[in-house]
Amino acid sequence: MTVASIKRGYQVIRTALHFGLDEMLPQHLTPRYVGLLRGSLFWLRNKHKDKAGGERLKLAMQELGPVYIKLGQMLSTRRDLLNDEWAEELAMLQDRVPPFDSALARQAIEAELKAPIDSLFEAFCDEPLASASISQVHTATLKSNGESVVLKVLRPQVEQKIAADLKLMTLAANLLERVLGEGNRLRPAEVIQDYRTTILGELNLKLEALNATKLRNNFLDSDALYVPYVYEELCFQRLMVMERVEGIPVSDIDALKAQGTDLKLLAERGVELFFTQVFRDNFFHADMHPGNIFISREHPHDPYYIGLDCGIMGTLSESDKRYLAENFLAFFNRDYQRIAQLYIESGWVSGNTDLLAFEQAVKLVCEPMFNKPLDEISFGHVLLELFRTARRFDIVVQPQLVLLEKTLLYIEGLGRQLYPQLDLWQTAKPFLERWMSEQVGPKAMFDKVRGQMPYWADKLPELPELVYDNLKLGEKLLGSQQQLLDKYLRYQRKSHKSNYLLITSAILLICGTILLSQGLILWPAYGSLAAGGLLWLLGWRARPRGGKF
Ligand SMILES: Nc1ncnc2c1ncn2[C@@H]1O[C@H](COP(=O)(O)OP(=O)(O)OP(=O)(O)O)[C@@H](O)[C@H]1O
């Protein structure tokens, strides 16, 4: 651990405590000695007692900078984890930041191109067109064809800053996960792992360029979506060059109305685009915020979307896709028993789930929706509520499904903003029914069987032996399962105790070191170090032995 990361760690702890985030932990996670320790950190008291929990969380993330702001934005879509108040507060986080020096932008661009800007571009504009937490966008004209282009370049040192913050986040999440125990619904390590994948994806502009080209090719003949041409030979890890597009930001409804855009058609096309990307192409844009979507200025009676920023794209497995489609169809056929069954068949909830209790819970979510007119039903909210319900039954939320739910919620919100009477079902139903019949009809079955013939011809002779081996194995496993479970529970108990002690001691040691380095008040520093050392010893002794689970 470097001095810089210790300092950053202290800064994170200080901010968390100043905003009273520790008070949000459930009581059973803060035993008395943690409370005592908290009390001894008197210089880090909660300075925002008057504010609600969600607001304090938002302000803390804002203060900690871009990496935490993006984490907050991502968490705001995880309503299966957070309550509505917290999610709404986090959704308000904005990552617009002041631009960085254009001389640095020029340097970074030339380093990637390995050539002076003037040799390839003319009229490079030093004033950026946009500036976000990860990148900055400049305009220019391409010398080779005279086309207007934009150059998107990563901020200086952004990778290092993100890597350092991610390291600390991962450490904290792993510790928290051990304290909370395996079965906890927050699963911090999983959340941070998802976040890591997302943010690292945004740091590779070459990957973004490839995604953009793939999406563009999928919609080349479409009258609903246009993706700007990407100059792949001028795209690198830190630089992306693409056609400059003109349009009206999708959130500017007044401007859209002023030019006479057919908003009903636009809203319906948005829904169609979502279903086409998910079900036809299995490649969907998963970062649909207003800054990334523009609407064409030309022929407003036949409007199309312009999609930017393909850093985060989602795909689903074939089976998830099918279960999802069936889920939508079951919902609109008002068949909640089928919905409950689908969650279990798909493996999204454990096979040991009490089917009746789960059905009842699904009924509670769905029935109030069934009483509404179709144009008031929110697909996204139903899906979200279902995930939330399934959480209680130990759902294993797939990151890709969360991306999809987020995108669906966004598309739906956008559609209704553009055209409040939008009937999602009427728009989506023909598409889904057609797709399902292609997946499960006799022709689909025939095609699948034909495709798998060579595999089965190869495997069939091994089948009797495999069946026999598996039966034998099952017999042995049953006996050892109970023993394993008992051992596991003992291991968990010891591990929790040891983790509490080790974390507390780490906090004490960090605080002690920082106080000592500042040389202001020495007795709390020595006190913290001594107590930290003692707790470390106790935690070390209390750790479970005999291998890992
Ligand atoms: N091809 C383009 N033509 C015109 N403007 C563009 C183009 N690409 C990007 N922009 C402008 O730059 C802004 C930022 O671009 P983009 O969203 O790709 O960057 P980002 O760093 O990923 O931002 P965020 O963090 O908000 O996702 C866009 O909102 C848009 O205004």
Residue-wise pLDDT for 374-428, tens only, equals 667 777 777 777 777 776 776 666 666 777 777 887 787 788 888 888 877 778 8
Calculate the dihedral angle through the C-alpha atoms of 357, 362, 364, 365, rounding to the nearest 10 degrees: 150
Going from the Cα of 136 to the center of ligand 1, the distance in angstroms, rounded, reads: 8
Q: Which residues are bridge partners to 457 per DSSP? A: none
Mean pLDDT of 501-513: 83
Ligand 1: centre distance to CA 262 (Å): 25
**pLDDT tens track for 508-545:** 888 888 877 776 667 778 888 888 888 888 888 887 77
Ramachandran assignment for 78, one of left (phi > 0), alpha (psi -120 to 50 degrees), beta (any other): beta
Which residue, by CA, sits nearest to atom 24 of ligand 1?
Answer: 132
Confidence bin at 459 (pLDDT 50/70/90): low
Q: Taking 70 as the threshold, does the pLDDT of residue 33 lie above it?
A: no
Least confident of 25-34, 425-434, 483-492: 25-34
Residue nearest to ligand 1 atom 11, measured at CA: 130
* pLDDT for residue 245 is more than 90: yes
- Calculate how far, in angstroms, residue 410's C-alpha sits from the geometric centre of ligand 1: 18
Assess whether the C-beta atom of 179 lies below 6 angstroms from ligand 1.
no
Residue with token string 């979307």: 305
Lookup: tokens for 320? 């998830």
Q: What is the position in ligand 1's atom list of the atom closest to the CA of 291?
A: 29
Mutational test site, ligand 1, from 100, 129, 141, 406, max ligand atoms within 8 Å of CB: 129
The rounded mean pLDDT for the chain is 81
pTM score of the predicted model? 0.71
Closest CA to 134 of 230, 70, 211, 74: 70
Q: Helix crossing, 399-418 with 263-275: angle to 10°? A: 170
Does the beta carbon of 308 lie inside 6 Å of ligand 1?
yes
Question: Residue 455: pLDDT above 80?
Answer: no
pLDDT of residue 237: 95
C-alpha of residue 8 to centroid of ligand 1, in Å: 30
Q: What are phi and psi of 334, to 5 degrees?
A: 55, 40
Q: Report which protein residue has its CA nearest ligand 1's atom 29.
A: 291
Which mutation among 137, 198, 215 tests ligand 1's pocket best, with the greatest number of atoms within 8 A of CB?
Answer: 137
Q: How far is the centre of ligand 1, averaged over its atoms, from the C-alpha of 301 (Å)?
A: 26
The SS3 assignment for 261 reads coil
- Which residues make beta-bridge pairs with 240? 152
* Rounded-to-integer distance, Cα 193 and Cα 267, Å: 34
Q: Which atom of ligand 1 is nearest to the CA of 135?
A: 21
27-41, 185-199, 317-331, 481-495: lowest mean pLDDT where?
Answer: 27-41
Q: Is 95 in the pocket of ligand 1 (CB under 6 A)?
A: yes
Active-site option among 80, 287, 309, 423:
287
Query: Is residue 135 classed as helix, strand or coil in its secondary structure?
Result: strand
Which residue has better confidence, 268 or 518?
A: 268
Per-residue pLDDT at 376: 72
**pLDDT for 548 beyond 60:** no
Q: What pLDDT is attached to residue 122? A: 95
Q: Is 309 in the pocket of ligand 1 (CB under 6 A)?
A: yes
Q: How many angstroms separate the CA atoms of 440 and 205, rounded?
A: 39
* Banded model confidence at residue 346, pLDDT cuts 50, 70, 90: confident
Task: Work out whether the CA dihedral 167, 172, 178, 184 comes out positive or negative.
Answer: negative
| 246 CA: nearest ligand 1 atom | 4
Q: Locate the domains of the chain by residue range.
A: 1-95, 98-245, 314-440, 463-542
Nearest atom (ligand 1) to Cα of 96: 26
Q: Is the CB of 245 under 6 A from ligand 1?
A: yes
List binding-site positions for ATP. 129-137, 152
* Strands, E assignment, 155-255: 225-226, 239-243, 248-249
Range in 38-42, 47-51, 87-91, 171-175 with the lowest mean pLDDT: 38-42
Secondary element (H or E) of residue 488: helix 463-518
Ligand 1 geometric centre to CA of 315 (Å): 23
Joined together, the tokens standing for residue 254 give: 């007044």
Q: What is the pLDDT of residue 383?
A: 74
Active site residue 281: no
Coil, helix or strand at residue 455: helix
Residues marked as binding?
129-137, 152
- What does the pLDDT average to over 140-162? 94
Tell which atom from ligand 1 comes closest to the C-alpha of 244. 3
Q: What percent of the chain has pLDDT over 90?
A: 24
Distance 167 CA to ligand 1 centre (A): 28
- As given in the structure block, the two tokens for residue 242 are 């693409």
Q: Is the CB of 228 under 6 A from ligand 1?
A: yes
Indicate the range of 165-179, 317-331, 390-404 predicted with least confidence: 390-404
- Cα–Cα distances in Å, from 56 out to 89, 192, 494? 9, 20, 34
Quick one: pLDDT at residue 359?
81
Q: Which residue has the tokens 């739906």?
A: 412
Mean pLDDT of 147-162: 93
Separation between Cα atoms, residue 276 and residue 315, nearest integer Å = 12
Residues 303, 416: Cα–Cα separation, whole Å? 16
What is the per-residue pLDDT across 425-440, written as a single tens digit (0 to 9) for each? 778 878 877 877 777 6
Q: Is the ipTM of this complex over 0.90?
A: yes
Verify whether ligand 1 is closer than 6 Å to residue 44 (CB atom): no
139 Cβ below 6 A of ligand 1: no
| CB of 130 sitting under 6 A from ligand 1 | yes
Q: Quick check: CB of 201 below 6 Å from ligand 1?
A: no
Q: How confident is the model at residue 476 (pLDDT cuts 50, 70, 90)?
A: low
pLDDT at 31: 65
Contacts 24+ apart (CB under 8 A), 11-17: 11/64, 12/64, 12/168, 12/172, 13/44, 13/507, 13/510, 13/511, 14/44, 15/60, 15/63, 15/64, 16/60, 17/41, 17/44, 17/45, 17/46
Q: What is the DSSP code string of 193-217?
A: HHHHHHHHHHT-HHHHHHHHHHHHH
Residue 549 has pLDDT above 80, yes or no: no
